[in-house]
Amino acid sequence: MTKYYAAVDMGASSGRLILGHMENGRMELEEIHRFENGMVKKDGELCWEFDRIFKEIVAGLKKCKEIGKIPVSMGVDTWGVDFVLLDKDDKVLGNTVGYRDHRTEGMDEEVYKIIPFEELYARTGIQKADYNTIYQLMAVKEQQPGQLEWAKSMLMIVKKKHPEYLEQAEALLHVPDYFHFLLTGQKTCEYTEATTGQMVNAQTKDWDYEIIDKLGYPRRIFQKLIMPGTSVGHLTEELQKEDGFDVEVVAPATHDTGSAVLAVPANDDDFIYISSGTWSLMGIERKEADCSLRSMQANFTNEGGYEGRFRYIKNIMGLWIIQCVQKQLGISFAEMVELAKSSTYTRIFDVN
């Protein structure tokens, strides 16, 4: 009997559910369901539509049932750094803000007032990128209490009172961990995804609670880290009834580049890879992180990989510009390629 395995691979512009199975010693892949993704403006913030995306994941599982190819296990991978905060009732606090929102502007300087970047890099090995989880949390901490709103009935400006989200929060879940939670009801935090947030110690491969405590982030919200390949649980009873079957949810390398690098067809350490999507990542795999001053100055990053390895990489502007142009023009990527072929434009511009 053929065993099928489901992978939900989520990028910044689209997501898909793929079924894989082994046939004559080869892995055969079949796309079952594809759907659009992207940020939308909500209350002046760029946000992800996680409710809609989760419905698409469930729709993909239902299609597996329809075609009679029920997976024995499944997992979700996504982009890095973004997260949700859950309250004591497991409700999402605030908007599901994405990393391209402007809320983190200036938050790096707030963090560096407490912990210099040189110390952060020496401990975590993660490059400076002002959208990392560590700066997003500072934005939540600094900006949430009291946004100004206009009270028309009173013709005066009043302060809109919000309890601090960090005070209310009981759990921080990165995006793939949140989808695993919606599937199973289990709160976990997978290692490769967590490292992108700049709060995991490169030596211990666990949360760096000294950093967390110094910045005033509550320890309780950080879940125990799990490694790729760890079983998260089974579908909730509600989803089992809706889909018509049960499946074990197993955490992959939930940061999509971690999964991509795991698939690099190399049998030794003598290779360089380029993983290209919304971002392009070029680098190598290492057993130990390079947290040296020279590495910091070159802005290389040491992201977590399978079996506790490190993806030592350089972030390069990828296809995001192409995705934006495609969305604005309202044409397919194939049509864009044909237009490019016929173009007489000869100049080069620096995408960075």
- Full strand arrangement of the beta sheet holding 4-10: 26-36, 14-23, 4-10, 71-77, 248-250, 231-234
User: Residue 256 catalytic?
Assistant: yes
State which H helix or E strand residue 297 sits in.
Answer: helix 293-297
Catalytic: which of 256, 268, 290, 350? 256
Whose CA is closest to 189, among 153, 154, 127, 232? 232
State which H helix or E strand residue 148 sits in.
Answer: strand 147-151
**Phi, psi (rounded to 5 degrees) for 327:** -65, -40
Name the 3-class secondary structure at 141.
helix
What lies within 8 Å, CB to CB, of 62 at 6+ separation is 242, 243, 244
b/e burial code for range 68-101 (CB count within 10 A of at least 16 → b):
eebbebbbbbbbbbbbbbbeeeeeebbbbbbbeb
Name the 3-class secondary structure at 256.
helix
- Helices 117-124, 107-114: axis angle to 10 degrees equals 80
Instruction: List Cα–Cα distances, 33 to 6, 253, 264, in angstroms.
Output: 11, 21, 24
CA 168 to chain centre: 23
Active site residues: 256
